[in-house]
């Protein structure tokens, strides 16, 4: 089966599995996932599975990317913060949906590789830094939307504080090795309104000094 046929099969699978937002499906279809996985896994780029990218991290399962992006309800004029750049795959999907994406990654080597991919794809509405994602990006706040791609034990108040009134944050919550679930948190009158969405398994959100 050709790469194009595998991509079509994946998009159909995502639609059957609950990703009904046509903008999200179009964004995923336009992103060449094979650019975001190590060479030994290129033949699996359009399988609906997470794949390792080094540093104990993964490029997320396409279904999770689709469902989380859909839950974020991103408009084309919005300013979005992503915590956990990883390979850059989710970042490029979001960049196709919003006006400006800000993304933070702790691992400098992963960030450098992701930035090379952004340049190769000509995606010019992403601003990225190496940093502690749990602190957010206060200099650029507030954000209309925040997506967190690592699991926290509880809602990070620092990130919620950087969310604009009426904004949405989507993130996995739960301790490592335990049940985790994606939640959508809306900011209404300065308070969180929580929706529980679906179970997941993510790496933990790490605070503190960056690795060398």
pLDDT at 210: 62
Residue from 60, 87, 128, 134 carrying the catalytic annotation = 60
CB within 8 Å of 12: residues ≥ 6 apart: none
109 is catalytic: no
Query: In order of start, what are the domains of the chain with their CATH numbers?
Result: 3-200 (3.40.50.150)
- Tokens at 154, concatenated: 């509880």
- Tokens at 51, concatenated: 């794949």
Q: What is the pLDDT along the chain (212 residues), one digit of tens a residue?
A: 677 899 999 999 999 999 999 999 999 999 999 999 999 999 999 999 999 998 888 899 999 999 999 999 999 999 999 999 999 999 999 999 999 999 999 999 999 999 999 999 999 999 999 999 999 999 999 999 999 998 888 899 999 999 999 999 999 998 766 789 999 999 999 999 999 999 888 877 777 556 55
Q: Say whether pTM exceeds 0.85.
A: yes
pLDDT at 129: 97
pLDDT at 169: 98
pLDDT at 36: 96
pLDDT at 208: 57
pLDDT at 205: 78
Give yes or no for a contact between 66 and 45, defined as CB atoms under 8 angstroms apart: no
| 3, 49, 110, 148, 197 from 133: Cα distances, Å | 34, 25, 14, 9, 23
pLDDT at 22: 97
Three-state DSSP at 201 gives coil
β partners of residue 147: 82, 170
């Amino acid at each position: 089966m050709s790469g194009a046929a595998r991509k079509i099969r994946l998009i159909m699978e995502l639609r059957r599995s609950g990703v009904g937002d046509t903008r999200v499906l179009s964004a995923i279809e336009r992103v060449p996932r094979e650019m975001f996985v190590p060479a030994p896994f290129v033949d699996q780029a359009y399988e609906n599975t997470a794949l390792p990218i080094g540093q104990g991290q993964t490029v997320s399962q396409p279904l999770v990317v689709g469902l989380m992006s859909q839950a974020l309800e991103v408009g084309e004029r919005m300013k979005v913060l992503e915590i956990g750049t990883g390979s850059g795959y989710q970042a490029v999907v979001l960049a196709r949906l919003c006006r400006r994406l800000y993304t933070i990654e702790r691992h400098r080597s992963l960030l450098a590789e992701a930035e090379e991919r952004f340049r190769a794809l000509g995606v010019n509405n992403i601003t990225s830094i190496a940093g502690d994602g749990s602190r957010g990006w206060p200099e650029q706040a507030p954000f209309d939307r925040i997506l967190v791609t690592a699991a926290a034990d509880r809602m990070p108040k620092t990130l919620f504080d950087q969310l604009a009134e009426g904004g949405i944050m989507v993130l996995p919550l739960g301790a490592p090795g335990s049940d985790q679930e994606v939640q959508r948190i809306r900011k209404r009158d300065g308070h969180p309104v929580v929706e529980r969405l679906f179970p997941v398994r993510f790496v933990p959100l790490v605070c503190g000094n960056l690795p060398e």
